[in-house]
């Protein structure tokens, strides 16, 4: 597998003298043939400026750097695919952090691009190519004409048109999982939050956070329309990338769920949350929640706290919320932000297995952490960032989770309740 690099103008080339390398944690490494898959439809290749691409000499096995004029290249994967390795590169000291994307190692062989990744779910429902700009604009216009006073549709218009958010687009097309952002504030200060960053973060959030405070009536109007239209396989989700944590509006969400269920029993109601406010989560669960996805980067408290920087809650509260929801019939999944060389160490894997057992989690949604790798590694505890244990590999991590947690599913996005029932047959 040849190394892929870009020139100063962004043109892509493959090297005839160096083999593609990957990165796990801070270390460059070989990538086995079985860890490469063809570049998926909907993926994008991007140049990593101020970097020198690294590859292996096929004769000596030595790690070498391309000339400084040639930059490393990474792939941005669509939903349904989990990266196994980061791109291998040496970054110029003092250069600005990379934008908030999940960069994956890229190679080239026999006329095709490959990525170091595995398919973790069916990518078809979330293929970004299914919605054209013109069709989206028409759907947005129709829905806003139908609900002219609902500020949720107004806000989601920008998400669908400008940010090309698939969940927002689903809302206007009345398909699959729809979005209902409700909270402009958050009780965490995540490193690399995509909707809000402090001025000294060094990088810019790619989205604008919600500024309105939707009323219960606005929530119910959107929820009822989406669930009635999509039917039993439809999902409406609180907690989107354009907002803070929805549980801060737990009382209003509980009221909206209760009103929605008086109007329709179809579809499923989901919340994506850090689950730190257990009292609010209990109210939401008791109101009739069907699905809950808990955002998590580690089941070790010091690592979790270093990334999320929670305000007014701890990792113990997250666990209590997940356990309560699971005990009361809610299907609980994890939005697991994983990172090669960290998530797949023995310590991390064992902690996650214990967490799944304690909380009754049914699905682990593997999400590629969107951040400059060095920014992330510099912020988490040193014993973790410096690879206190030899990484097992992301594939081995997945195998360990499924083998040690009977009934646990691995995926990439939220599924309706019927999907879990089908898996049990």
d(CA 66, CA 72): 9
Q: Distance (Å, rounded) from C-alpha 218 to C-alpha 241?
A: 19
**Whether the Cβ atoms of residue 408 and residue 332 lie closer than 8 Å to each other:** no
343-385 pLDDT, tens digit each: 999 999 999 999 999 999 999 999 999 999 999 999 988 877 7
Residue-wise pLDDT tens digits, 293-319: 999 999 999 999 999 999 999 999 999
According to DSSP, the β-strands at 27-29 and 22-24 are: antiparallel
Are 84 and 340 in contact, with CB atoms under 8 Å apart?
yes
In 121-262, which ranges are E strands? 177-180, 235-238
Arithmetic mean of pLDDT, 42-61: 94
Label residue 288 exposed, middle or buried (CB < 10 Å: 0-12, 13-18, 19+): middle
Band (pLDDT 50/70/90 cuts) for residue 425 is: very low
Segment 319-332 shows an average pLDDT of: 98
> Does residue 94 surpass a pLDDT of 90?
no
Distance (Å, rounded) from C-alpha 122 to C-alpha 106? Answer: 21
9-25 residue pLDDT tens: 889 999 989 999 999 99
pLDDT in tens, 241-275: 889 999 999 999 999 999 999 999 999 999 999 99
CA nearest 189: which of 176, 178, 198, 179? 198
Q: Quote the pLDDT of residue 225.
A: 97
Query: Once rounded to an integer, what is the mean pLDDT over residues 394-401?
Result: 98
What crossing angle do the helices spanning 216-230 and 151-161 adopt, rounded to 10°? Answer: 60
pLDDT at 420: 87
pLDDT band at 390, cuts 50/70/90? confident
Residue 193: its pLDDT value, please? 79
Is there a contact between 247 and 276 (Cβ–Cβ < 8 Å)? yes
In this prediction the pTM is: 0.93
- Given a contact cutoff of 8 angstroms between Cβ atoms, the answer to whether 290 and 200 are in contact is no
């Amino acid at each position: 597998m040849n190394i892929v690099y870009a020139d100063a103008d962004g043109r892509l080339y493959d090297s005839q003298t160096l083999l593609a390398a990957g990165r796990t944690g801070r270390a460059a490494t070989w990538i086995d043939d079985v860890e490469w898959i063809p570049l998926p439809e909907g993926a994008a290749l991007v140049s990593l400026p101020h970097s020198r691409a690294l590859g292996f000499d096929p004769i000596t096995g030595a790690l070498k750097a391309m000339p400084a004029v040639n930059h490393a290249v990474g792939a941005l994967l669509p939903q349904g695919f989990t990266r196994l390795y980061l791109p291998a590169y040496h970054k110029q000291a003092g250069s600005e952090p990379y934008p908030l994307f999940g960069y994956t190692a890229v190679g080239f062989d026999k006329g095709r691009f490959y990525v170091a990744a595995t398919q973790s779910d069916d990518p078809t429902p979330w293929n970004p190519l299914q919605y054209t700009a013109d069709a989206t604009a028409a759907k947005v216009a129709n829905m806003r004409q139908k609900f002219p006073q609902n500020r949720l549709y107004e806000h989601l218009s920008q998400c669908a048109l400008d940010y090309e958010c698939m969940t927002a687009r689903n809302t206007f097309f009345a398909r699959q999982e729809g979005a209902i952002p409700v909270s402009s504030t958050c009780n965490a200060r995540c490193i690399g939050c995509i909707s809000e960053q402090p001025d000294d973060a060094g990088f810019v959030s790619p989205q604008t956070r919600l500024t309105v405070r939707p009323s219960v009536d606005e929530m119910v109007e959107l929820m009822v329309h989406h669930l009635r239209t999509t039917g039993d396989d439809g999902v409406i989700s609180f907690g989107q990338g354009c907002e803070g944590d929805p549980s801060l509006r737990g009382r209003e969400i509980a009221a909206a769920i209760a009103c929605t269920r008086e109007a329709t029993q179809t579809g499923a109601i989901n919340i994506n949350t850090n689950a730190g406010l257990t009292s609010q989560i209990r109210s939401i669960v008791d109101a009739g929640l069907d699905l809950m996805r808990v955002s998590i980067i580690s089941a070790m408290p010091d690592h979790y706290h270093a990334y999320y920087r929670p305000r007014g809650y701890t990792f113990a509260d997250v666990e209590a919320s997940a356990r309560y929801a699971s005990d009361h019939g809610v299907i609980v999944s994890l939005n697991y932000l994983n990172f090669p060389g960290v998530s797949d160490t023995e310590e991390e894997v064992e902690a996650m297995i214990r967490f799944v057992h304690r909380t009754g989690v049914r699905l682990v949604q593997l999400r590629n952490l969107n951040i400059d790798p060095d920014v992330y590694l510099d912020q988490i505890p040193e014993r973790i960032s410096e690879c206190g244990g030899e990484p097992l590999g992301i594939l081995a991590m997945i195998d360990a989770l499924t083998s040690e947690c009977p009934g646990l599913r691995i995926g990439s996005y939220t599924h309706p309740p019927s999907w879990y029932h089908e898996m049990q047959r």
